[in-house]
Amino acid sequence: MTGDPLFVHGLNLAVWVIIVVKVVAVFAIVLLSVLFMIMYERKVIARLGVRYGPNRAGPNGWLQSLADGTKLLFKEAFTPKGADKVVYKIAPYLMLLPALIAFAIVPLGGQITIAHHTTELQLADPQWGILFLLMTSGVAVYGVMLAGWASGSKYPLLGSVRASAQMVSYEAVLGLTTATVVLVTGSLHTSSIVAAQHGGFLYHWNVIHTAVIPFILFSVAITAEMTRAPFDLVEAEEEISGGYNLEYSSVDFAWFYLAEYAALITNSAIIITLWLGGPDGPRIAGHSIGPVWFIIKELVVLYIFVWIRATLPRLRYDQLMDLGWKKMIPAALAMLMIIAGFQATSTSSGSGIGHYLADRKWGFIAIVASVALYLLLTRAIEVGKTSSEIEGTQRSESMTGRQL
Amino acid sequence: MLASLQSVLLADTSAQALAHASAWAVFLVGAAMILTGAAGVILLRNPVHCALMLVVTLFGVALEFIDQSADFLAAVQIIVYAGAVVILFLFVIMFLGVDRKEAIAAEPTKLQKPLALLMGLVVLVEILALSRVDHWVGGTPALSGALNGPGDNVQKVGQAVYTGYLLPFEMTAALLVIAVVATVVLSKRAGGAGNDEAGAVVAEESSEVTS
């Protein structure tokens, strides 16, 4: 069992203080990264659109988000007349909290020693490890859902219903692809997941170990989970004039903004932990520089998120649901089965292609079964579509009512 | 509890006392959450508020699970109940538009309130009596046995489920699939477009029964 060396000598006051310091430090890191990230996104998007982006406040405009935040703090906090007052005020915090605490399980690489106490650069390494991520992403729905409901007006409610349907739909993919990582690692601890990917740049990472496809599925699902572009039809201005946070202003709106970007940073960190080796990377002059590698990877992943937002157009609602339920969940299931099959490899004596195949028979059986099931599924969807079309024409009903 | 707190305050910061106090603090916070949530569910008038108080209770229960080093159960408690079941509750409440104050006075039967009170008392007395007789009811870790042997809690649960209890596990899975298929069939037969919400309600109820 892995564990933080901090607790080797039990729990005493110094350990308590160190834990509190770590909590505050992680909190500060996430909040500061949010300030940075907002500017990073605006600058990159501007450059991708051949513009300058914000360039007035501070050096090269890098203090713009600080200025915006300060301005928001001094605006009037407005509560609509029909709002459910208590839930309306709580919702932003319910959104912010999961995004912040999910960062606790991210290993940042290496250990540090403070006053004779050695501790991991990771806030918490619970036994349920990566299940913590599934927990926070499951609970994150509440913020969005209640914000829209408590606003007491129609458009935010529509936005929040869209958002929660979307988040619930894509959670299954998240869970299934995370399970593939747990399969190849054999542990739920995030520290073990990172340790298993250590050594050998790229070659030992889970992206390669799980044959890339689960990684892509996970990244797409987590983008949908965050309701970021191209899955941002939650805040499609031309359809529902805003989204779940339409009625919010002042600090409450700032919390939503903060929560969105905190979730982006945390989820990128989770992607790196699960698939991209965490803080793994070549040593420089014999020194292990895990945190530096981690920051570099984080910047690259965040850049890709921004790039996607600047490039891809928004999906339609039925496209979103089709992608989630008919393509990604079956693919994630198939990959889980195939990887489980290849994990059950036996080692027989002898070489040659025959032995090679025999050793990995469960893996190949799983591939064949997946292809067969895929064909069956496509056929079933086709049949279902035609039969509902027939039904539709019989009842001479327009299908538009069922689209949403 | 008071004794352990005192020992902390009186600079007797031995590791065990602090660990003990921490465990007590976790237990008390969890218990407070459970009771507040439960009281909220039955006392509040707005269904959405009730559902939210249910979430508070579920989190309290998860906290108590962690206190008993049943980490996997805690995770599942939150992922399945708080993350899925109550979300579905809220969905249905919002979709069907029952999020208004309801007339509680209208009772299905005359005897409902006294019967409920009686049953509640019976259950309470049962639990109290059992906790006097058998210690496992109270979940005392020292008596129900701490984790032994190698491996985490999660690993042990996984091994138990996939070896000794494989048949019940698979039967539960089959039951869930049957419930899903039945939902599709029922909502399909009831006649097409307008009945999606009814289907959702059935699905949710069946998943609740089986989980």
ipTM of the complex: 0.80
B103 and B175 in a single domain? The answer is no
Residue B49 placed within a domain: yes
If one counts every other C-beta atom within 10 angstroms of the C-beta of residue A294, the result is 26
Number of domains in chain B: 2
Residue A357 placed within a domain: no
Number of domains in chain A: 1
Range with the lowest mean pLDDT among A87-91, A109-113, B60-64, B205-209?
B205-209
Residue B199 placed within a domain: yes
Residue A353 placed within a domain: no
* pLDDT over 90 at B170, yes or no: yes
Residue A75 placed within a domain: yes
* pLDDT over 50 at B143, yes or no: no
Contact status of B44 with chain A (Cβ, < 8 Å)? no
The last residue of a domain, from among B107, B137, B161: B107
Residue B98 token pair: 């029952």
Residue B146 placed within a domain: no
Q: Residue B206: which domain range?
A: 152-211
- Among B10-19, B123-132, B188-197, name the most confident range: B123-132
B5 and B93 in a single domain? The answer is yes
Residue A358 placed within a domain: no
Nearest to A239 by CA among A313, A150, A316: A316
Tens of pLDDT along A84-137? 888 888 899 988 898 888 888 888 877 777 766 777 778 888 777 888 888 888
Residue A333 placed within a domain: no
Residue A371 placed within a domain: no
pTM beyond 0.80 = yes
Residue B25 placed within a domain: yes
Query: Three-class SS of residue A203?
Result: coil
Q: Whole-angstrom Cα distance, residue A9 to residue B78? A: 31
Residue A332 token pair: 């994630």
Q: Residue A302: which domain range?
A: 5-316
Residue A179 placed within a domain: yes
The last residue of a domain, from among B107, B142, B169: B107
Chain B residues whose beta carbon lies within 8 Å of the beta carbon of residue A127: 71-72, 152-154
Residue B115 placed within a domain: no
* CATH number of the domain residue B96 falls in: 1.20.120.1200
Subunit contact B78:A1, Cβ cutoff 8 A: no
Residue A154 placed within a domain: yes
Residue B66 placed within a domain: yes
Chain A residues whose beta carbon lies within 8 Å of the beta carbon of residue B153: 127
Predicted pLDDT of residue A131: 87
Q: What is the DSSP string of A123-182?
A: S---TTTTHHHHHHHHHHHHHHHHHHHHTTSHHHHHHHHHHHHHHHHHHHHHHHHHHHHH
Residue B143 placed within a domain: no
> How close B111 gets to chain A, by Cα (Å)?
34
Range with the lowest mean pLDDT among A73-87, A308-322, A373-387, B1-15?
B1-15
- A to B CB pairs, distance under 8 Å: 88
Residue B22 placed within a domain: yes
B33 and B99 in a single domain? The answer is yes
